[in-house]
A and B are shown apart, each in its own frame.
Chain A
Amino acid sequence: MRFAVEVLVTLKPGLADPQGRAVESALPALGWTNVSAVRVGKHVRLELETGSERDAREQVAQMNDRLLSNPVIEDARILEVRGIVEADR
């Protein structure tokens, strides 16, 4: 079976997020003076071929730990696992 998986990688809470801060400090210039607590993360989407949804989750969790994120500074969360039917593609 083929699965589409979406992963969200974010800097751990409390860790300085220079990118988020840059966005936050640019928004007032566009008129948004009411924004705070901006954090910028990374969205990963991938497809994989495997036997079951559970198996897909397990494999992606391993990818998260070993490559997609650095567990020292980032959290990686699986947002969605969806089975793909060929007609969808």
Chain B
Amino acid sequence: MSARIGVVTFPGSLDDRDAVRAVELMGGEGVPLWHGEADLRGVDGVILPGGFSYGDYLRCGAIARFAPLMEEVVGFARRGGPVLGICNGFQILCESGLLPGALIRNRSLRFVCRVVHVRVETTQSPITADVVPGEVLEVPIKHGEGQFVAAEDELDRLETEGRVVFRYCGPDGEIGDAYNPNGSQRGIAGIGNEGGNVVGLMPHPEHAVDPDVGPTGGQALFASLLSQVLAGVP
């Protein structure tokens, strides 16, 4: 039996096919889901992929959260189902209140497209459960609005509850402003919800699974997600 992971396509999603492909490369079954149909098709996990849903016209992710399928995704997440938001998917999770904080324009005002390093900060998430904390992964980023911001007390809460999942870092895991590509507070690249089952991150693990086309930092994350889903762990 292979884990069935749904990947939602919104108008303007770009990375949905890469996400399906990444799931399948890692041995799972990728199930395309359509934003307009309130049907999760019995999947074991959900990925909200990157892109520019609804053109990002109002705010990134602001309109996508009202899609008919999102109500199902929110219910699935509240029941403990694993939900992974990548890039625009992370923005959608923040806009829909499943994750705290928000993603605003990069500090540089520029779209940033390059490979970065992130450090795994916790195993309390379905995509890092099988990864050693402190491990450094090479993954690409490509976003104009990836600066993670939240109120100071919210940031403190994320830190003390171990919900910072990824932090931007140097090749050896060193943390510092020089390695922060977008000005995110405390160098945060990804966070989880209180239950740990909902994770959002700006880097793209789905573009980092095939050694023929780039870094492979995403492999460990998809492998972890698939094994957690199969083990029935949210």
Contacts and interface: CB of A to CB of B under 8 A. Distances in A.
Nearest to B103: A73
Contact of A70 (B95, B109, B147): B95
Given A70-B95, A70-B102, A16 B58 contact: no
B150 A70 contact: no
A19 B105 contact: yes
B189 to A, nearest CB: 17
A22 B109 contact: yes
Interface in A33-68: 67-68
Given A16-B183, A67-B58, A67-B62, A73 B107 contact: no
Contacts of B183: 16
A64 to B, nearest CB: 12
A72 B105 contact: no
A46 B150 CA distance: 30
B106 interface: yes
A16 B107 contact: yes
Contact of B104 (A16, A21, A22, A68): A16
Given A16-B149, A16-B183, A67-B58, A73 B109 contact: no
B149 A73 contact: yes
B100 interface: yes
Interface of B: 58-59, 62, 94-95, 100-102, 104-109, 147, 149-150, 183
